[in-house]
Amino acid sequence: MKNAIRISCSRHNLKVVRDFVSTYLAAYDLSDLHLNQIILAVDEVVANLIIHANHEDESQFLELRVTVEQQVFEIEIEDDSVSSYKPSLYREPDLQEHIRTGKKGGVGMTLVNRIMDRVEFTTTGTHNVCRLYKRLA
């Protein structure tokens, strides 16, 4: 089973990523809710990296690798962004303030953090690695 893909930083590749994750996880007996939550979390991170880190520059690429070990799904997403977007510096927003002011956007990573069991971002120079973990059992 294929467990890695490389995509250019185009929004058009979000469907490729969703299909890739869905196909990989099809071998595991997940509820539709559980499966869709994982796909949503991965989609959000990949979209952020494509749009904010790489500015939809199709000459830039993301590498994705998925594994399941001991009933824990892990996806690793890597890029080499030269932008100032640093996901490792992410701080959860004040959701009450967002509601009060009617602000739209800026809460995707909050959703990812609530769906996944663990989210790790590391940045070394321009190399970013995101690891998402979710227990399947």
Number of structural domains (the chain) is 1
Distance separating alpha carbons of residues 82 and 61, to the nearest angstrom: 12
Compute the mean pLDDT over every residue in the chain, rounded to the nearest whole number: 87
CATH for 128? 3.30.565.10
Share of the chain above pLDDT 70, in %: 82
Q: pLDDT at position 123, please?
A: 84
pLDDT digits (tens, 9 = 90+) for 26-66: 999 999 999 999 999 999 999 999 998 899 999 999 999 99
Higher pLDDT, 84 or 72: 72
Do 122 and 89 meet the contact criterion of CB atoms below 8 Å apart?
no
> CA-CA distances (angstroms) from residue 3 to 23, 75, 88, 122, 127?
10, 9, 25, 21, 21
Domain that holds residue 67: 4-135
Instruction: Give the max Cα distance, the chain.
Output: 47
Name the residue with tokens 């994750």: 21
Query: Residue 27's closest CA among 62, 7, 3, 45?
Result: 3
Helix (H) or strand (E) holding 44: helix 32-48
Rounded mean pLDDT, 13-28? 97
Q: Is pLDDT of 89 > 80? A: no
5 residue type, one letter: I
